[in-house]
Amino acid sequence: MMSDVSRRQILTAGAIGAVGFAAAVRSSFPFGVIVTQTAQANTQNPPEPQASVNPNGQFAGKVVLITGATSGIGEATARAFAAEGATVHFCGRRETLGEQVAQSIRDSGGKATYQRADVRIEEDVKSFVDTCVEQYGRVDIGFNNAGIESSPSTIADRSLDDWMDVITTNATGVFLSMKYEIPHMLRQGGGVIVNNASVSGHVGFATIAPYSASKHAVLSLTKVAALEYADQNIRVNSIAPGAVDTPMLRRALAAWNTDFETVSQDYPIRRIVMPEEIARSVMFLSSDDASCITGMDLDATGGYLTK
C-alpha cells in the first residue's frame, strides 16, 4: 500500500507532472495530499502566452525541431519559437491533434509543420529529422521533449513491459533524437540541443522507478553529448521541470480530487509553473545569451530542488 507521503511526493514534485499524468490516472489507488511545509511566497505572476508572431523575432531564420509537441510543454514551446520567427517542425503520435496545432500556429502567422513519429521507433525518428532537413535545409535547434509516465508501482511488482516502455520512450527516445540531429548539425557547422529531463532526474521518488531512471539517463546523455561535441559548436543542455499546468495535469488533479492551490504548497514559489515558462527557459538555453552554457541541467521546478 502506498503512503500518503509517497503519493504527495509524486504529484507535488512533478515527477509525473512534468510530462503528464495519463498513466497515473489509469491506476486505481486513492489519493490524498498532505502539505505541512512553509516556504517563501512568490509574488510574480506567471506570464501570459504570447499571441502575436514577430517574423523578425529572436529566432528568425532558425529551424527548430521538437518531439512530442501535440500538447503541453512541447506545444507551448512550438508556439513560443514560432512567435519569435522560427520555423518549427514537430512530431507526436496523435495525428489529428498534431495537425490542429500546426494549423493553429500557421493561422496566427507562424511557420510550423507536423509529422507523425514515435520516438520509440528508430525509423520514425530518422525520418522525422531527415524530413525536417529535406524541407527546410537544416536543423538549428532540437528540443527533445517527448516522454511518458507509468502507473505507480514498487520495483518488485513492476512489469518488464512497463519498464521498457518508459525507458524506451524517455531515454532511448532522447538518444535516438540526438543520434540523428547531431550529424546534420555537424555538417552545417553547429547547433543547439535541449533535452527535457525532470526533477525526478535529481531526486528519487518511490513507486516510479522507470520514470526516475529514465530522467537520470537523460541527464547523463546530456552531459556526455555536451562533452563529445562542445568543440564542434554544438551545445547540449537539459531542463528539469516540476509540476506544470498541462491538460494531463488538470485531468489528474480532478481525478485525485485535489487542486492547484493544494499541490502548489510544496513548491517555494507557491504556484504551478506554466508551460510558457518552460518554453521561455528552453528558448534561453537555445539562444546566443546561453552561448557559454553546455552540459547543464536547468532547474525549472520553481525552487523545489533548492530545498
What CATH topology corresponds to 52-242+275-306?
Rossmann fold (3.40.50)
State which residues of the chain have pLDDT below 70: 1-51, 248, 252, 255
Q: Residue 116: which residues within 8 A CB-CB, separation 6 or more?
A: 91, 92, 93, 95, 98
What pTM was estimated for this model as a whole? 0.87
Q: Rounded to whole angstroms, how far apart are CA atoms 290 and 196?
A: 17
pLDDT of the residue at 48: 55
pLDDT of the residue at 30: 25
pLDDT of the residue at 146: 97
pLDDT of the residue at 18: 41
3-34, pLDDT tens digit by residue? 554 455 555 555 444 443 333 333 322 222 22
Q: Rounded to whole angstroms, how far apart are CA atoms 275 and 104?
A: 17
- Which residues carry out catalysis? 211
pLDDT of the residue at 265: 87
pLDDT of the residue at 253: 78
pLDDT of the residue at 249: 73
Cα separations in angstroms, 67 against 27, 34, 229: 26, 35, 21
pLDDT of the residue at 63: 98
